[in-house]
């Protein structure tokens, strides 16, 4: 398999470090870090409708740039990260960007940030996702491993209590993330959003109809593959 770093649309490690440092220096407690931005863009890449940068950038950038050069550089890195997702999925080279959390037993990989970003990506087209999830169990089944991670990390709440995933179960769900994204993308291509669904979503997203969302779970750590 061709190494991920050889694909021109993918960020190399130094670029990931650069973007990570910028986000850490310009985000608040509830804002997305690099893992969350990757999750957000991953949800948009496989979702039902195109989401333009002017809609998702406010989810990522929260402060004015120091100067034009900095702004151009950060936007270029974000565009490259965005473009890389579909390219990597196409060649079976996608890996979720994860964080690390410090536990008593040492540093552990965490999908909490990625899942938080993924959930916010879904929120940008919440009406379409929610109506389809409630009507078509196939989509819920396809999202199973990602939803299991999100529930385990406290990003999503569940109606029933679930036991924490074992380390092996957690790793198994992580290993299925790329396949989940491919399957979900194929699902929306085969069963695109209907005109009625889009109209309902537009009505729901009009001012005054915004739903409140729970605050994201706190996390720490740095990006890793």
Q: Give the pLDDT confidence of 146-205 residue by residue, as tens digits.
A: 999 999 999 998 777 788 999 999 999 999 999 999 999 999 999 999 999 898 888 877
CA-based nearest residue to 188, from 147, 143, 224: 143
Backbone angles phi, psi at 71, to 5 degrees: -60, -45
pTM, entire model: 0.87
pLDDT band at 56 (very low <50, low <70, confident <90, very high): very high
* Cα 55 to Cα 124: distance, rounded to the nearest angstrom: 8
């Amino acid at each position: 398999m061709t190494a991920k770093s050889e694909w021109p649309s993918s960020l190399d490690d130094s670029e990931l470090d650069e973007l990570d440092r910028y986000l850490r220096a310009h985000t608040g407690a509830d804002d997305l870090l690099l893992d969350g931005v990757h999750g957000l863009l991953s949800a948009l890449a496989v979702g039902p409708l195109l989401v333009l940068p002017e809609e998702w950038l406010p989810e990522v950038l929260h402060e004015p740039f120091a100067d034009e050069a900095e702004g151009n550089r950060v936007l270029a890195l974000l565009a490259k990260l965005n473009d890389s997702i579909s390219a990597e999925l196409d060649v079976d080279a996608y890996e979720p960007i994860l964080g690390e959390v410090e536990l008593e037993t040492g540093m552990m990989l965490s999908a909490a940030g990625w899942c938080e970003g993924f959930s916010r990506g879904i929120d940008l087209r919440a009406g379409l996702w929610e109506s389809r999830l409630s009507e078509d169990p196939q989509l819920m089944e396809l999202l199973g491993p990602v939803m299991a991670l999100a529930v385990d990390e406290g990003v999503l709440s569940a109606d029933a209590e679930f036991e924490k995933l074992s380390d092996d179960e957690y790793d198994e769900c992580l290993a299925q993330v790329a396949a989940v994204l491919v399957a979900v993308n194929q699902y929306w291509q085969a069963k695109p959003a209907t005109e009625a669904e889009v109209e309902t979503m537009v009505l729901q997203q009009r001012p005054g109809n915004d739903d409140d969302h729970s605050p994201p779970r706190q996390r720490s750590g740095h990006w890793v593959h």
